[in-house]
Amino acid sequence: MLHIEYIKHLSALIDNPVFFAFFLAVLIDVMTGFVKSLVNKNTTSSKGLSGLIKHSTLLLIASVLYPFCDIYGASGMADMLLIFYILFYAISITENLGQMGIPIPTWLKKYIYKLSDDYRGDDDEK
């Protein structure tokens, strides 16, 4: 009875700390992106809607596939994939905060492309 097992694993997803961290990372990224657009006065409904669709789709795919991975003994691989996405969202959150004018440590800025001189075109080669 795969469907019963799937529902059990799906309902247990709320107690999974990696999935919960992934959900929080997505939520915080969406919120900081929205606040960034308000601060920088470049809020557009099409960009915001496409971002929400993208993030919602990723959450939906992770929610649907994680229970299958758990059932078939691949939850470790699923956790690693979610941690990978959490790291990408952490970078995006840091970029959003930096673009809002919140100070980001210099040692960290050089590793984040959107906050680096290369992205802004401020490098000496041009």
Parent domain of 27: 2-120
* 99 occurs within a structural domain: yes
Phi, psi of 74 (to 5 degrees): -110, 30
Domain tally, the chain: 1
pTM for the whole structure? 0.81
Distance CA 33, CA 70 (A): 32
Residue 125 lies in a domain: no
The torsion defined by the Cα of 27, 30, 33 and 34, in degrees rounded to 10, comes to -110
Record the tokens describing residue 6, joined without a space. Answer: 């799937």
In a domain, 93, yes or no: yes
Indicate whether 126 belongs to any domain. Answer: no
| Residue at token pair 């970029």 | 95
The 10s digit of each residue's pLDDT in 18-55 is 999 999 999 999 999 989 988 888 777 777 788 899 99
| Position 37 in a domain | yes
* pLDDT, tens only, 50-81: 889 999 999 999 999 999 999 999 999 999 99
Q: What is the CA radius of gyration of the chain?
A: 18
Query: Which residues, other chains included, contact 55 with Cβ-Cβ below 8 Å and sequence gap of 6+?
Result: 26, 29, 30
